[in-house]
Amino acid sequence: VCAQRVVVAVTDSNLICSWMHRDQWFWRSGSLPPDCCREGVPLQPAIIGDFLGEFLQDCDLPGAQIELLLPLQACRWRLFETGSQDPLQFVETARAFLAGLNDSLEPGNLDVSTQQLGDDTLAIGVVRSVLQAWIDVVASADVPLRRVEWSLVSALRAVQRSIPEDFSGDLAWLIQSSGQPGCR
């Protein structure tokens, strides 16, 4: 049995699995049991994990290695002008800023990753307990976790790959999350 890369995108109500077979992408969506996930937080990791394990079997994906895409609501993000700031100091600055978006969150409880976007840097933060809960979901499914990433970073990479090399204009991307008015 060979390892099969399976990308799993999560919403509050669905798991969407996507995988490549013979140079063709396949995907399948399954509805989560009610009240398992709310605002990007898995409330019942073991139940979601069992669902994921059974779903992978139903998709005939032995040897699945999961690349988990965290839902939009599970993360905080901001685009920063990087400037000449030291990369390690930048991460700490971004962590403090992202934690400050919620008065009750300590910066030390936030995992931060960054993505370079031209001269700017996208900083993404996820509360450690939420990240651990999603890791527990995959562990409950009894499949290896290859990588965890935020869904918008994955989508951004896909958009960047689809832009022709000779494109010289500006690109605007509007993001609307459920339950929040307006776009960013």
Q: What is the pLDDT of residue 176?
A: 59
Do 137 and 40 meet the contact criterion of CB atoms below 8 Å apart? Answer: no
Using CA atoms in the order 102, 104, 109, 114, what is the torsion angle rounded to 10 degrees? 10
| pTM for the whole structure | 0.80
Do 80 and 94 meet the contact criterion of CB atoms below 8 Å apart? Answer: yes
φ, ψ for residue 17 (rounded to 5)? -105, 135
Span 69-112, pLDDT tens digits: 998 888 888 878 766 667 677 788 888 878 777 666 787 788 88
Closest CA to 133 of 66, 65, 42: 42
Q: Look up residue 174 and give its two tokens.
A: 């509007």
Summary mean pLDDT of the chain: 83
